[in-house]
Amino acid sequence: MQRVVPGGVTISDMHGLRPRPESVARVNEEVEVAVVQPSPGDERLAVLWPSNTPLPARFEGETSSQGNQLLLVGPRSAANIQALRECLPWLRPQVLGLQTSAGFGDRLGLATPGHIRALRGVGGNIAPIFAQQSIREMGRTRRSPRQVVDDATWGIFSSGWREPFGADADHLKSRADVEECLPVGYTFWTIDPGDEVDVEAETAPVDVLSRKVAELPWTELEDDLEAFRRRYDAAYEVDGVGRLEMNETAALRAAAKYGRAVALTSQLYRLLRERLGAHGWELEVAVDETQPVTTPLEHIYMASELRRLNVNWVSFAPRYLGEFEKGVDYGGDLADFEPYLTAHAAIARQFGPYKLSLHSGSDKFSIYDIAARQTRGLVHLKTAGTSYVEALRALATVDPNLFRELYAYARDVFPQARIGYHISGRLENAPAPGDVADADLPGLLDQPDARQVLHVTYGQVLTHPSLADGLLTALRTHPDVYAAILDDHFARHLKPFASVTTP
C-alpha cells in the first residue's frame, strides 16, 4: 500500500489496530481512514495524517503521535460517521431512479456487511438501499432515523462499498413522520397512506359508494364530483393486457377506496418538495399494508390521480393478490398471481414508467422469477425482518444457551406481539425450547411457526436489556458468522433479479 507521507506508516502497519482491509480509504493524498478492531467485537475509527496538516473534518477520539504523523482512534459515533460522510462522497445516499433495486431492512444496525457480501456475490445490476427501517419499527426498537442511516453508513464504510446506494425513510404515514426524517439525508421516501384506504368500499353497494365519493376531500384533491365522473367514464388499452373497462361502479369503488389515500400522498409529497426541492430524492407510494387487494383498475385510478396532481414517484406497492406474510414464502396460487402481476407491471410501464415494489418481500422465493420476468427489471424488492431472523440463526450457532432464553421469551410475548400482523404462525405448532438439541437450534429458523414467532417479537426482544445486549455482543464478536449467513440467505433473494436489464 502507498504510504501516507514519505517515510511514514499506514494504519495497516500499526501493531494492535487490526484494520478491516476493505475499509482502508484515502480522504486525500495525506489522510487515511479505516475501521479498526483493537479487540474482538470492538470496532473503532482510525484516522492517520501528517502532524503538520489539519484534519479535513471534525473527527473525535484520542490522538497520539506516530513520528511525523498523528493517529486518532475514536468511537463508532454519530459525529465520526458524519465526518466520514463529509470526507468520502461514496458514503452519501443517492437517487437510484428506475434501476432494479433492493431494500435491506436492518433492525440491529449490523447487517450491512452481510448484505454487501450477497450483492457482490450475485453481481448483476441491482441498486441497493442499505438504510431502511419503517417508522413503526423505529418506534418498537427505540432507534432514531439518524441511527438507521448512521449504522448503514458504518457498514458501507467498513465493507468498502463505493457504488451508489439509497436510504429509505420507510412507511411514513403523517406529516409528523416526514418531519422526523427530514434532517437525516434520506433519498428514498416511502409514503404509506394505508390508514386512509376505505376497507368498507371493497364490498359496499353502489349507493354507499356514491355517498362515500361525494364526501371525499375534493378541495385537497383539486377536483370535483362532476369532473371525476367525466374523467372515468372510460376504457383503457393496456399493452399486453388488453382493454380494461372503468364503468361507473368500478370508478366509484376505486375513488371511495383510495381517494383519501391519494389526497394524503399529495399533501406529503408537496411537503417533501417544499423542504427538499425538486431534485435529489424520490418517492415510493405504498398501500400494501391493507387487507383489500388492489385491482388493476384501482392501480390505474391511483396512477392517474397522482399524475393529475403533479406527484412524481418512482415506485408503487399495491396490495397484491395472495398472502405476503412476514418471514415465510408467498401464500397463494402462482397460476393466479402471475397474470395479476403481469397486469400491474404493464400499467406501471404505461402510466409511468415506475417500478413495482414488493413489500414484505423477504423470503417470497416462489414469486421472484415471476416478478423479475414480468416487470422486466422495473421492480424494487423490499426486505425487512428477515435480516433480524437470520441474526437469530447466527446467535443459535454461536451461543445456544442465549438463543434458548431469547426463544422462550419470544414465545411468552408472542400473543401480544402478533397483534397488528396478518400471519398464520401458531405458537402451539412451534417446537418448545427444551425439545430441540443445540445442534438443531439454527434449524428452528426454517420451521415456519417458530420463524414467525421470532420474527414479530423483535420489538420486545430488542427492548429487553439483557437479551438485546447479549444478542448484539454475540453478533459483534462473530461478525463473519452473521455476514456469511446473510450472504447465503440474500443470494437466494437477489439472484432472480440480478440478470434482468431495466429497459
For 115-148, the three-class secondary structure string (H helix, E strand, C coil) is: HHHHHHHHCCCCEEEEEEEEHHHHHHHCCCHHHH
Contact at 8 Å (CB) between 106 and 133? Answer: yes
The residue assigned the cell 422526523 is 180
Question: Residue 283 belongs to what H/E stretch?
Answer: strand 282-286
Q: How far is CA 107 from CA 45, 378, 445, in A?
A: 22, 27, 17
- Establish whether 284 is a catalytic residue: yes
Contacts made by residues 415-423, CB under 8 angstroms, sequence distance 24+? 416/460, 417/456, 417/457, 417/459, 417/460, 418/456, 421/326, 421/456, 422/291, 422/323, 422/325, 423/325, 423/326, 423/327, 423/452, 423/455, 423/456
Q: How far is CA 412 from CA 90, 418, 433, in A?
A: 44, 11, 12
Q: What is the dihedral of CA 282, 88, 130, 116, to 10 degrees?
A: 140
Please, which residues bridge with residue 42 across strands? 39
- Establish whether 338 is a catalytic residue: no
Cα distance between residue 103 and residue 98, in whole Å? 14
- Beta-carbon contacts of 444 under 8 Å, excluding residues fewer than 6 positions away, are 396, 407, 430, 431, 436, 450, 451, 454
- What are 467's three cell numbers? 437479551
Contact at 8 Å (CB) between 379 and 371? Answer: yes
Catalytic residue among 32, 151, 170, 289: 170
Catalytic residue among 192, 282, 284, 399: 284
Strand order of the sheet with strand 32-39?
25-26, 32-39, 42-50, 69-74, 62-66
Strands 188-191 and 62-66: unpaired
Phi, psi dihedrals of residue 99, rounded to the nearest 5°:
-60, 140
- What are 484's three cell numbers? 456469511
Active centre residues (catalytic) = 170, 284
